[in-house]
Amino acid sequence: MCQVFDAVNTTYSNFKSNFVKRLSAEVPVASSPVTTRWRQSQTRDLAAYSFEEEHSTTELPEASASVLKITPENQTLILGSYEEPRNTPIKGNFETNYSALRFGKAPHALDRGWKENIASKGQKCLNQLFSTQKVAHQVNGKMQLCEQSQCVWKGCRDGVRDESFYLKRFSDINSSILQPEVKIHLTGLRNDYYLNILDWNFQNLVAIALGSSVCIWNGENHNRIENMDLNLTCNYVSSVSWIKEGSCLAVGTSEGEVQLWDVVTKKRLRNMLGHLSVVGALSWNHCILSSGSRLGRVYHHDVRVAQHHVGTLHHKQAVCALKWSFDGRLLSSGCSDGLLTIWPHDPGVSAQGQPLKVIPQPTAVKAMNWCPWQSAVLAVGGGMKDGHLHILDINTWRSIQTPSTNSQICSLIWLPKTKEIATGQGTPKNDVTVWACPALAKSGGFFGHRGRVLHLALSPDQTRVFSAAADGTACVWNCC
């Protein structure tokens, strides 16, 4: 139940007494008329990007989602069943809390000097609180190549060295154990199953989100190229996705923003607003960018035009995964309620847009990818209570599955060169399992991670795999 201050029924003496007590206890006054950080960033973005009207009449706000409750007093949005309410500030369409502004007016005349002194102390206390919260939530990301015996990373000092990382092919009994091409230490990688923060583009650039920054890494010479810091606009980066044609990187944030960055010029191209929660999934279909949030909305953005929002899809629960098929004809979306949904190619859908098929799954649908050589085949990894790898044929709606892996499947990619699938496993295995197609028999694996393998990416030449795990390690493996 939301407690709202009643500026009419509360006497001035009580107000003054409570105000002084809170200041003496160094507790900020919750109803002080302070502009929130995200509103400041929105105002700044509007000035910087005046060509873009972020909230056109075609956009549908997420406030209608079932997890939002509206109090009749102030129309204040409260997250009801959201998983991480403290990490995700609620953001709407430039709404203003007028009751908070009215609260700042005293009903009787006061001494100006006393008022200014109280206001100054209250503002200082609030600023200290916001500064402390910002430092607590934001982590500066960093990538560091492992220097083997000379490495000073804590994991290596504790004995977790390259010798424990290896690739093994089950079909070749006489094959030697292969070491990863390179091992990387990551600082700031979030141990969050529902994020999609790794992508490898056709220009051999790897983008990985670490805390509130995005690291750009050269997959050819293993050098870090750029570190894009977003700590002024978000607590953490929640998704990344490269456009297929060019060097444009889409970035989703914990505050619901979808940003476009040019990594060549190192500049942000635009900031597309609309979501009210964490943007955990992004997927490109040429110039159409689809973004999914934890409040169950999928927005289609045409990045070529100022009025970018061209369509909306609706889910009842959080969107964990979004993938356009390679031919651009179908969009698959996975949700935390275990529903796998197949949508037709229609970016300009209305609120009544209907899916082609809704397929219930035993667990949340996060690990998901379309087959590169069979456009109607989709692979889906089961969660902790499932543990199976499912292969679905969209034309016949038939599916096959592997035996249970007895662990959560956190990520998966197809390996076109060898006609295989690689799955990133969770506890207790924490390895990368390779499956031969179409029999779905185990053909090999990458071993050594000590945390669940949350993210996998394939190189543009389809010969190497980038794996990132919750223990803060990443490896590049030669898979063929």
Summarised one tens digit per residue, pLDDT across range 134-153 is 444 455 677 788 766 555 55
Measure the N-to-C terminal CA separation of the chain; round to a whole number of Å: 58
Summarised one tens digit per residue, pLDDT across range 398-453 is 989 888 898 999 999 999 999 999 999 999 889 999 999 988 999 889 998 999 99
Judge contact between 222 and 210, C-beta under 8 A: no
To the question of domain 142-478 being in CATH 3.40.228.10, the answer is: no
Residue 179 to residue 162: CA distance in whole angstroms: 7
Residue 393 to residue 374: CA distance in whole angstroms: 9
Judge contact between 236 and 254, C-beta under 8 A: yes
- Amino acid 325 reads S
Q: What are phi and psi of 22, to 5 degrees?
A: -65, -40
At CA 142, angle to CA 141 and CA 146, rounded to 5? 150
The confidence score (pLDDT) of residue 136 equals 40
List all residues 6 or more positions away from 414 whose beta carbon is below 8 Å from its beta carbon.
369, 370, 371, 372, 379, 420, 421, 422, 458
Query: What size, in residues, is the chain?
Result: 480
Peptide bond into 438 cis (omega under 30): yes
Judge contact between 278 and 260, C-beta under 8 A: no
Mean pLDDT of 247-274: 94
Summarised one tens digit per residue, pLDDT across range 218-258 is 998 888 878 888 888 889 999 999 999 888 999 999 999 99
Tokens (6 digits) for 405:
């892996």
Judge contact between 421 and 414, C-beta under 8 A: yes
The confidence score (pLDDT) of residue 223 equals 83
- The per-residue DSSP string of 81-101 comes to S-S-TTTS----SS---HHHH
Q: Among 63, 67, 135, 120, which Cα is nearest to 94's?
A: 63
The confidence score (pLDDT) of residue 304 equals 94
Q: Among 234, 237, 346, which Cα is nearest to 290's?
A: 346
- Amino acid 45 reads D
Summarised one tens digit per residue, pLDDT across range 202-223 is 999 999 999 999 999 999 888 8
Is 178 a residue whose pLDDT tops 50?
yes
Neighbours of 99 (CB within 10 A): 17
**Sheet strand arrangement including 398-401:** 368-370, 377-381, 389-393, 398-401
3-state helix, strand, coil in the chain (%, to 5): 15, 35, 50
The confidence score (pLDDT) of residue 94 equals 31
The confidence score (pLDDT) of residue 85 equals 37
Q: What are phi and psi of 348, to 5 degrees?
A: -90, 40
Residue ranges of domains in the chain: 142-478
E-assigned strand segments in 235-388 = 237-242, 248-253, 258-262, 267-272, 279-285, 288-293, 297-302, 309-314, 319-324, 330-335, 339-344, 357-360, 368-370, 377-381
Residue 122 to residue 24: CA distance in whole angstroms: 10
Q: Among 183, 266, 249, 165, which Cα is nearest to 222's?
A: 183
Q: Where do we find the tokens 């490269």?
A: 242
Parallel, antiparallel or unpaired: strands 473-478 and 464-469: antiparallel
Q: Where do we find the tokens 């060097």?
A: 247
**Sheet strand arrangement including 319-324:** 319-324, 330-335, 339-344, 357-360
pLDDT band at 38 (very low <50, low <70, confident <90, very high): very low
pLDDT band at 155 (very low <50, low <70, confident <90, very high): low
Ranges 123-137, 224-238, 352-366: which has the least confidence = 123-137
Residue 263 to residue 217: CA distance in whole angstroms: 11
Residue 39 to residue 122: CA distance in whole angstroms: 20
Is 24 a residue whose pLDDT tops 90?
no
